[in-house]
Structure formats: structure tokens, C-alpha cells
A = this chain, B = another copy of it.
Amino acid sequence: MIQPNLPDSTLPRVVIVGGGFAGINLAKSLRKVPVQVVLLDRNNYHLFQPLLYQVATAGLEPDSIAFPLRGIFKKQKNFHFRMAEVKGVDAANNILETNIGDISYNYLVLATGSNTNFFGNKMIEEHAIGMKSLIEAVQIRNYVLKQFEESLLITDETAIRSKLNFVMVGAGPTGVELAGAFAELRKYILPKDYPELPLHLMDVYLIEAGPRVLAGMSEVTSQKTKASLEHIGVKVLTNVAVKDYDGLTLTLNNGETLQTQSLIWAAGVKGMSVPGLPEEAMLPNGRVHVNDLNLVKGTQNIYAVGDIAMMVNDERFSKGYPMVAQVAMQQGKQLGKNIAHQLRGQAQKPFKYTDLGSMATIGRNRAVTEFAGIRLSGYIAWLAWMVVHLLNLLGFRNKLVVMINWIYRYFTYDRGTRIIIKRGAANIVKLRQSIYQTDPQVPDVHHVR
């Protein structure tokens, strides 16, 4: 019999679903509040998504950008973690249904984040590669390195091009950073590792349906970014959308085609909603309507924070706040304070977004940042980018390991983590015996009594 086995408590229970930026900031801000905090996540770690692209391009180990959730909260007495997947909400009875059993709540907070949005194109969804989770990033790394190995085994130029072309769709920060990282792989790593590889057959594309890259930043920054990308060899196509992709041939809406076996889709995200919420709250893009206290429309004690929350209370963001880490962190913290206020019978404060600016790195010594009207680009922006990301990365060990990897890469023009971790055939599947029935592809070999 599997059950959450949460300790009994007379305190109100706050159940938080998701250990991303919103979830952990909320849990932290409830540290001294008289509540029982229960955090659920399908993984046992917090993932620092902004550096995911470096895992995908063999720059960092997966472990350096993930931090065990239990480790973050080991000193917080009112905190309880369970690895679980949420099935739905029974709002009428204040019960959250999960794969480890039902959990009752006084406050429920959805901080489930977002997932890749293919906008309904099934062909693209089937053949393109998303990059939102750690395992996806690791698999991309394995896949990309395999393309290089396999390119050596064929002689047909078209087939080689198809293996060596890498196409990023969507020129937000993720697409820009990925394209830059691929261009650097080609420039610095591949000539040394694969002297036999015909690198003139390799192209890195960045495709954007809108008129410019980094649309969230200023026009000037867009232009600088595009020029930088082109300088390091990325083919930037704007005002062009992907029409179709069958795993080998990519068709653009201008009729042109590209041969590629690697299409990485960074063109959109959608909220990861939970079944059982009031219909009036649900939006087609998976996000959930909340008021300026992050309360889900039509509910009394269900909140949503971060990417999944659709809040419109700021004229600068008439379509809701951007789905970025800054918003998630601030909403998490604010909700924590508001729950404390509520328990003390004090007035709650509406969420107010402090835009700390945005940044993207393009490659070695190249980045762009915008903050409070100040625009930086080039070396200074690149240093700023690194400092901000290091400071925000959780855990001293992770900070140190990431810094060493960056210093190492800077001076050696090398990447240490370009290994392909293959799943072996034997003796592995049985390790997947688990109480959690989370992976429909692999049957459970054992049944736990």
C-alpha cells in the first residue's frame, strides 16, 4: 500500500506542485510561517533551466545544473518533499490526486511550469527535439555527438549534410544560445576531435518566424545579436516559419527546404496545467488565469505561480507576464508573504513585477544584456552573463564545478563532457522496477508487495 505518509500536523498544509524557480522560492519564503510545506515534483532535483543548452552542447555535466530538492531544504523543519506526479485536483474536497496517493491541502499552489509547445503540428512534434528537461538535454548531447561519429561512416554529401546540419527554431534566448553553442562546437571542438570530418558540409541555422531575434529585447540589441551570430557562422533566417518536417527534410513557408536530422524546437512553450481546475480558469495555451494575488480564477485556495500563471495586472505586459525565471521567483516569494499575511489576518499585497532586465550569451566573449535602459554587448555583457548565472545557480559545489568548466573551456577551447552515454541492453530494464508508474514505455518487472 503506497501512501504519501506525511506527518500529521495541526498547522495548515500548503501543497506546492513543482520544484522550479517559483516552487522553491515559495517554499523558502514559508520557512518561518506556521504551515506545513509539502513540495511535490516528478524529479528529486531543482533544474537550472537557463544553462540547459550547455548540457545539450557538451559544455556542462547534467549534475552541475541540477540540485537535489531535499538538499536545498534540509534545514527547513516545516518542509516535506515527495517525489510524485500529479493526476488531478479534487477542488471541492481540497484533495490533490497523485500517483503516490491522495494528499489533502489547505492551500494548493501550482508551480508546474511549462513544456515545449509545437502549436498542434503533429509532424513537427514527432520529429523535432524539445529541450525543457534534463534528460532531453542529455539525450540531445548523445544524439548530436552520435551525428558526428556517424558522419564519418558515409560518403554521400547529401547524407553527410543532413547529419551535420543543426537547425534551431525560435530565436528567443534558448534558440540564440543554442545556435551560438553549435557554431562554437564547429569552430573550436570539431576540427580537433574530428580532423576527418568535412566541416564545410555543416551548417547551423536559426529560424525565426518573427522579424527579429530576441524579440523581447530592444531593436538595437536584436541587430547586434544577429550580426554576432552571423559573424560566428550561424545562418539566421527571420520572417520565415517552419511548415513541415519529416525527420530528414525541413520545409519552410517560403517553399525552401533544408536537409537536417536535427531540428531543435525552441519556438514556444505552453503551461503544464492540472486536470480538475475550473473551466473558466483554463487557457488554450495551458496557462491558468490568476488574479493579482496569484489566486486561480473560480477558486478560494488554489494558487498558480510562474510560467503556468496567466496574470494581467501590468500594462507593460498586456498578454501576461513572460514565462521566465524572474517572474517565477518573484511570484513565489510574494505568494509566500501573502500566505503569511493571510494567516495573520493582514492585508495581502498584489504582485508587482520588477523587471531585472534580460540577457543572452552568443558565444565566447559575446553576449547581450539589457537592464534599466542600459544596454551592454560583447565582452562586458558576457562577463555579466556568467556572473549572474553563477550567482543564481544553487549550491556551492555546482557553482564551483560550473565555474571550473567555464574557465577550462575558455583557456583550452575544449569541452570535457562530450561523452555519449548509451543505455546498455542487459541488466538495466529490471532496475526500473518502481512504485512510481511514471514510465509507460517500460513495463515493471517486479511488483512491490
Q: Does A1 lie at the interface of the complex (its beta carbon under 8 Å from any beta carbon of B)? A: yes
Asked if B439 and A63 sit within 8 Å, CB to CB, the answer is no
Q: Does A257 lie at the interface of the complex (its beta carbon under 8 Å from any beta carbon of B)? A: no
**Which one of A125-133, A173-181, A365-373, A374-382 is at the B interface?**
A125-133
Q: Does A45 lie at the interface of the complex (its beta carbon under 8 Å from any beta carbon of B)? A: yes
Could you mark each residue 185-198 of chain A with 1 if its beta carbon is under 8 Å from any beta carbon of chain B, else 0?
Answer: 00000001110100
- Write out the residue numbers on chain B whose beta carbons fall within 8 Å of the beta carbon of A417: 63
Partner of A70 from the list B193, B438, B440 (CB cut-off 8 Å) is B193
Asked if A422 and B404 sit within 8 Å, CB to CB, the answer is no
- Write out the residue numbers on chain B whose beta carbons fall within 8 Å of the beta carbon of A130: 427
Asked if A68 and B419 sit within 8 Å, CB to CB, the answer is yes
- Write out the residue numbers on chain B whose beta carbons fall within 8 Å of the beta carbon of A314: none
Q: How many copies does the complex hold?
A: 2
A418 to B: closest C-beta gap in Å: 5
A57 to B: closest C-beta gap in Å: 14
Asked if B395 and A134 sit within 8 Å, CB to CB, the answer is no
Asked if B439 and A422 sit within 8 Å, CB to CB, the answer is yes
- Write out the residue numbers on chain B whose beta carbons fall within 8 Å of the beta carbon of A196: 5, 7, 80
Asked if B66 and A419 sit within 8 Å, CB to CB, the answer is yes
**Which one of A143-151, A223-231, A331-339, A348-356 is at the B interface?**
A143-151
Q: Does A390 lie at the interface of the complex (its beta carbon under 8 Å from any beta carbon of B)? A: no
Asked if A419 and B45 sit within 8 Å, CB to CB, the answer is yes
| Known contacts A138-B421, A400-B404, A428-B135; A74 and B193 CB within 8 A of each other | yes
- Write out the residue numbers on chain B whose beta carbons fall within 8 Å of the beta carbon of A276: none
Partner of A82 from the list B5, B134, B152 (CB cut-off 8 Å) is B152
Chain B residue nearest in CB terms to A44: B420
**Which one of A204-212, A232-240, A429-437 is at the B interface?**
A429-437
Partner of A434 from the list B4, B126, B150 (CB cut-off 8 Å) is B150
Q: Does A199 lie at the interface of the complex (its beta carbon under 8 Å from any beta carbon of B)? A: no
| Known contacts A82-B152, A193-B68, A419-B63; A431 and B140 CB within 8 A of each other | yes
- In whole angstroms, how far apart are the Cα atoms of A439 and B425 in the complex? 6
A169 to B: closest C-beta gap in Å: 14
Asked if A398 and B416 sit within 8 Å, CB to CB, the answer is yes
Partner of A61 from the list B63, B159, B192, B408 (CB cut-off 8 Å) is B63
**Which one of A25-33, A299-307, A441-449 is at the B interface?**
A441-449
Asked if B425 and A2 sit within 8 Å, CB to CB, the answer is no
Asked if A154 and B2 sit within 8 Å, CB to CB, the answer is yes
- In whole angstroms, how far apart are the Cα atoms of A420 and B436 in the complex? 13
A313 to B: closest C-beta gap in Å: 34
- In whole angstroms, how far apart are the Cα atoms of A3 and B67 in the complex? 43
Q: Does A386 lie at the interface of the complex (its beta carbon under 8 Å from any beta carbon of B)? A: no
| Known contacts A74-B193, A193-B70, A398-B416; A129 and B431 CB within 8 A of each other | yes
Given A1-B156, A401-B401, A425-B439, 20 additional A-B pairs, CB 8 A: A3-B154, A4-B153, A5-B152, A5-B154, A44-B418, A44-B419, A44-B420, A62-B421, A68-B193, A68-B418, A83-B420, A134-B421, A135-B421, A135-B422, A136-B424, A150-B448, A261-B433, A397-B405, A398-B416, A404-B404
Residues of chain A having any CB pair with chain B under 8 Å: 1-5, 7, 42-45, 61-64, 66-68, 70-71, 74, 80, 82-83, 100-101, 116, 125-127, 129-130, 133-136, 138-140, 142-143, 145-146, 149-150, 152-156, 159, 192-194, 196, 247-248, 261, 395-398, 400-401, 404-405, 408, 412, 414, 416-425, 427-431, 433-436, 438-442, 445-446, 448-449
10 A-B pairs in the complex with CB atoms less than 8 angstroms apart = A44-B418, A44-B420, A67-B419, A74-B192, A83-B146, A116-B427, A127-B430, A135-B422, A136-B424, A425-B440
